[in-house]
Amino acid sequence: MEIIKNYLKYSLWFVLIVFAVLLGLHWLPALTIDGHTMRRVDLLSDLRYPESETAAADSDSIPLPPVVKPAFVDTCRTGMTCIEDYSDSTLRGMTPFYKALDRVSSDDSDDKQVRIAVFGDSFIEADIFTADLREMLQKQFGGCGVGFVTITSMTSGYRPTVRHTFGGWSSHAVTDSVYFD
């Protein structure tokens, strides 16, 4: 029978030695290699208090002008959650949607229809989020109805805005292991 040797104390000594070496690197001068000055190592830099900036400033230096911050105009009123548009300058994000809403709200346009598709999970399928969004948009821009309703739905009983029943249908999905006969 072979006795298993415990190497835990060697691991502890290794960690302590590495920690001591890293602490000791703080007192080494800055190294310059091929014209590049390496930063000094300070393992405890997050624990140290920063030096006062006023002591480091020269007495003959000109004070810097205050930084002018650009005026930020918050278009989102208090209590309202705005939709963030993270698209770039290619105008492929929400810009076409906003332009379509502008066409609907303008009186001179004949195009009074905007189709909105919302992708999501059961929170969308049960019309929890989309019912309020749809009601708000229909009050603002006109329109009516609940939009697309699937023929069969596992969550039809959870949707408070539409009551429908169905029967005689077989539902299949791409991920089903059952194939069409």
15 confidence band (pLDDT: 50, 70, 90) = very high
Read off the pLDDT of residues 93-102 as tens digits, 9 standing for 90 and up.
788 888 888 8
Q: Is the dihedral of CA 20, 26, 27, 31 positive or negative?
A: positive
* Contact indicator for 144, 134 with CB cutoff of 8 Å: no
The pLDDT value recorded for residue 71 is: 56
* Cβ neighbours of residue 76 closer than 8 Å, sequence gap 6 or more: 82
Helices (H), the chain: 8-24, 53-56, 95-105, 122-125, 128-141
Read off the pLDDT of residues 95-124 as tens digits, 9 standing for 90 and up.
888 888 888 888 777 777 888 888 888 788
The pLDDT value recorded for residue 29 is: 85
| pLDDT tops 70 at residue 37 | yes
The pLDDT value recorded for residue 19 is: 92
| pLDDT tops 80 at residue 132 | yes
Class of residue 127 by CB neighbours under 10 A (exposed 0-12, middle 13-18, buried 19+): buried
The backbone torsions φ and ψ at residue 36, rounded to the nearest 5 degrees and listed phi first, read -105, 125
The pLDDT value recorded for residue 79 is: 83
Asked which of 5-9, 55-59, 111-115, 128-132 is least confident by mean pLDDT, the reply is: 55-59
Give the C-alpha distances (Å, rounded to integers) separating 160 from 118, 124, 131, 157.
17, 12, 9, 8
56 confidence band (pLDDT: 50, 70, 90) = low
Read off the pLDDT of residues 74-93 as tens digits, 9 standing for 90 and up.
577 788 888 777 776 677 77
